[in-house]
Amino acid sequence: MSQRSSAIDWASLLTRQQAAFDAVLQNRHDHEREQALLKERARLMSQKTAEDAGSVACVDCLEFTLSGEHYAIELSFIAATIPLADFTPLFCTPPFVLGITSVRGKIISIVDLRRFFELPAAGLSDLNRVIVVSDGTMEFGVLADRVEGMRSLPLSELHPTPDTFTGVRGEFLAGVTAERLALLDMARILADPRLIVHEEVG
Amino acid sequence: MLSNLKIRSRLIAGFSVLLVFLVLIGTLSLKNLAAEGRLLSEFYEHPFTVTNAIQQVDTNIARMHRGMKDVVLYAADREDLEATIAEIAKYEQEVYRGLALARERFPGDQAKIDRIKESMDQWKEVRAKTIALTRQGKVKEAVAFHKNYARRTVAQIDAQVEEVLKASHTTASNFAAESARNQRLTFAITAVLVALACIIAAMIAFAITASITRPLNDAVQAADRLAQGDVSVELDSASPDELGQLLRAMRKMVLSLRRMGENANRIAIGDLDLEVVPLSERDVFGNAMSNMVASLKRLAASADRIAAGDLTIEVIPASDKDRLGNSFSVMTRNLRDLSLEISEVVSVLAGSAAEIMTTVSELASSSAQTATSISETNATVQEIRQTTDLTSQKSRQVYEGAHRSAQIAKTGRDSVNSTLDGMQGIDERMGFIAERIVNLSEQSQAIGEIIATVADLAEQSNLLAVNAAIEAAKAGEHGKGFAVVAQEVKNLATQSKQATSQVRSIIGQIQKATTAAVLATEQGSKAVEAGMKQSSEAGESIRQLAASIEDSSNATLQIVTSTQEQAIGMDQIAIAIQSINQASDQNVEGSRQIEAAAKNLYELNQKLQKLVSGYRLA
């Protein structure tokens, strides 16, 4: 009780607390700087696209990952991307049909391409996405682990499908880039009769 | 004359006279009986038989007459006629036989019977003629003939038979009269003889009885007196018969009994010098008397020796029932045992007297020692008295000191109580701090949740940006600007995500810090608790100390009073010792007296020993 000198240094503690409160109040009023930063970024991006436009023929596509591999789908086939919120599994369907879900009042089926491509199937989570593809007649959702973002692929960079991609995997690919980004031949997939499920179970 | 005979002779003579009379009467009676018997047989032989036979003859004649009537009546039937004729012939023969018997036995005139026979012969001719006429069929003639002759003949026969019967009856009545005469005579003679015999028998019986009963009565009276123990009775008789002998023998017996009585009297008065000689080997009284005298002499000799102090003798009782012998035997045995016990007691008494003397001398010396000890004790008691006074003084001082200590302990308890109150306040503050910190922690948890929501929003913004880019691409050239905006939105979403992860890590640190702070306050609280516990223990110790000081104070108070009582007690002890001193002096005097008494006892014992040694025991 007599050792008052080793007690808590209340004065310095109070000083530190005051400093922390001040810092919080300061950050709250820093809108102007943020806005400036955003404008600057927008300007830089618009310039870049203007440069690209005239030079090379490109194909706009959406990049996504599936079991650690990168795939891309042409934007012209994509209707929307939605989170895999809740879906209804369908019984008596082939294994590649994950189930059905509702997109803005429309019922579509979800296709798990990993079954087609014989890739290892990891578990599903809230982070999984569904890319809704359509060619006007056929419409369904493609399961994706993660959506990377928009990408413009120069056609010159596309290489034909190597021999290592065999079977269905080879059939459904339009080309592969040097970064092992595989562009899916969506027109062909949509037209493939194997995706149409017509099965009767007695 | 009669009394000179023996009783046997007298009895024989009397009975002989009676016997003579008995023979006389018997002979006379027998003779008369024989005469009577003879008369009876005569009566049967003659009048009775004749009467019977004649009556039989009369009956048969009547039957024959009736048969003749039948012959006349049934002459027509030949067969009946012949049968009737045969019957008539049979009856006729019987008539003749009866007549023969009557003639033989008839005691009177036999010509009467012969006349009946002649009449019978006449009737026989008439009958024969009638039967012949009937056989020739001249029945009427036969009837007339028969009527004329037969009836007359039959009436004649009846008259003759009546005459014979009368004669026979007369004879019978003569016989009866003779018999009655004979009986009367016999009765008279016999009655006279019996009366005579009775008179003579009575006389003889009286004479004999008188000769026997008189001396017998004398003997009975003497025997009665003897049975009552009276031996003064005098008996004598000169009679030569059996009763005289009996009386003489009784006289001898009385004399013997008299002698015996005299001897018994002498024994009874203690005279044992007499000599009893038994009259014979079978003299039970004499033998018993002589044995008694011998036995009494033996006992007297034993008693003489015991009187002389000789206890070694052994008295043997004559039998199991010998009460005197048994008593003597038991007495000598008891005397022996008594003497032995007395001698033992005497020796024990000698030892005891010696022991008493030594004890008394020891007692005297110990009394002297006691006197010295008592004087020393008295000095010691005086010293203790002074010490007690000192103790009383000191204990009073101790009591006051204890009182002061109790007050100090009370002050200490108050201090401890205030310390405990302060500790309690600290504990409460600590609790308050801990609560606040936990509140902060919970609020930071809420911030974390908000941050998660923000991260989710960022993700959705990202997706939205992608969709916007797709739409922009579909719009072609017009959508270029929009695509840029979408890209920008995407970048913002990414940055938001990064910021949220940073915030999350900061919240983690805050939570760690708060946990540490809570733990620290908990430790502080525990320290305070320990402090409180120790303080309360200290308070308890002080309380116990105060209690024990209180107890000591009370104890010292008791000691003070006790020492005062002790001082009083010591004074009493001093007085008591004074009394003991006096008692000890009296003790010494008493032991001297006991010594003198013991000496007397010793001398008495010496005398007793001398007395006991006078008896010989073995």
pLDDT, tens only, A51-104: 555 567 788 889 999 888 899 998 888 988 888 878 888 888 888 888 899 888
- Other Cβ atoms within 10 Å of B211 Cβ, number: 17
pLDDT band for A174, please (50, 70, 90 cuts): confident
Q: What is the pLDDT of residues B271-321, one digit of tens each?
A: 888 777 887 888 888 888 888 888 888 888 888 888 887 888 887 887 888
CB burial readout B125-162, b (16+ within 10 A) else e: ebbebbbebbeeeeeeebbebbeebbeebbebbeebbe
Q: Which of B547, B451, B467 is nearest to B508 (CA)?
A: B451
Task: List all residues of chain B from 491 to 530 with a beta carbon under 8 Å from chain A.
Answer: 491-492
Its sign, for the CA torsion B217, B218, B219, B222, is positive
Q: Name the residue among B466, B485, B492 with its Cβ closest to that of A147.
A: B466
Cβ–Cβ contact A49 with B under 8 A: yes
pLDDT band for A3, please (50, 70, 90 cuts): very low
What integer pLDDT is reported at residue A131 of this predicted model?
A: 92
Using alpha carbons only, give the angle B35, B41, B44 rounded to the nearest 5 degrees.
Answer: 145
Provide the residue ranges of all domains of chain B, joining segments of one domain with +: 7-219, 248-308, 337-613
pLDDT band for A1, please (50, 70, 90 cuts): very low
Instruction: Kindly state the average pLDDT of the residues B565-585.
Output: 86
Instruction: Give chain B's length.
Output: 618
A106: three-class secondary structure by DSSP: strand
Cβ–Cβ contact A58 with B under 8 A: no
How do A58-66 and A173-176 pair as beta strands? unpaired
Q: What is the pLDDT of residues B437-487, one digit of tens each?
A: 889 888 888 988 999 899 889 888 988 888 888 888 888 788 878 888 888
What integer pLDDT is reported at residue A27 of this predicted model?
A: 65
Instruction: Kindly state the average pLDDT of the residues B67-77.
Output: 79
What integer pLDDT is reported at residue A30 of this predicted model?
A: 67
What integer pLDDT is reported at residue A5 of this predicted model?
A: 45
Instruction: Kindly state the average pLDDT of the residues A170-188.
Output: 86
Q: Name the residue among B463, B485, B492 with its Cβ closest to that of A147.
A: B463
Say which range, B45-54, B254-263, B557-566, has the weakest mean pLDDT.
B45-54
Q: What percent of chain B has pLDDT over 70?
A: 99
Q: What does the mean pLDDT of chain B come to?
A: 84
Cβ–Cβ contact A159 with B under 8 A: no
Residue B412 · residue B542 · CB < 8 Å: yes
Cβ–Cβ contact B463 with A under 8 A: yes
For B7-219, CATH number out of 3.30.2130.10, 3.40.50.2000, 3.40.50.1100, 1.20.120.30 equals 1.20.120.30
Write the ipTM: 0.71
**CATH class for the region spanning B337-613:** mainly alpha
- What is the rounded CA–CA span in Å between residue B181 and residue B178? 5
First and final C-alpha spacing in chain A = 88
What percent of the residues of chain B are helix, what percent strand, and what percent coil, each to the nearest 5?
90, 0, 10
The secondary element (H helix, E strand) that includes residue A97 is strand A97-103
Q: Tokens 């010292």 map to which residue?
A: B556
Give whichever of A17-26, B195-204, B354-363 has the largest mean pLDDT: B195-204
- What is the rounded CA–CA span in Å between residue B537 and residue B544? 10
- What is the rounded CA–CA span in Å between residue B61 and residue A46? 226
More confident residue, A200 or B495: B495
pLDDT band for A36, please (50, 70, 90 cuts): confident
Cβ–Cβ contact B490 with A under 8 A: yes
Q: Which among B467, B503, B506 is the top mutation candidate for probing chain A, defined by the most A β-carbons within 10 Å of its own β-carbon?
A: B467
Q: What is the pLDDT of residues B373-390, one digit of tens each?
A: 888 888 888 888 888 888
What integer pLDDT is reported at residue A64 of this predicted model?
A: 92
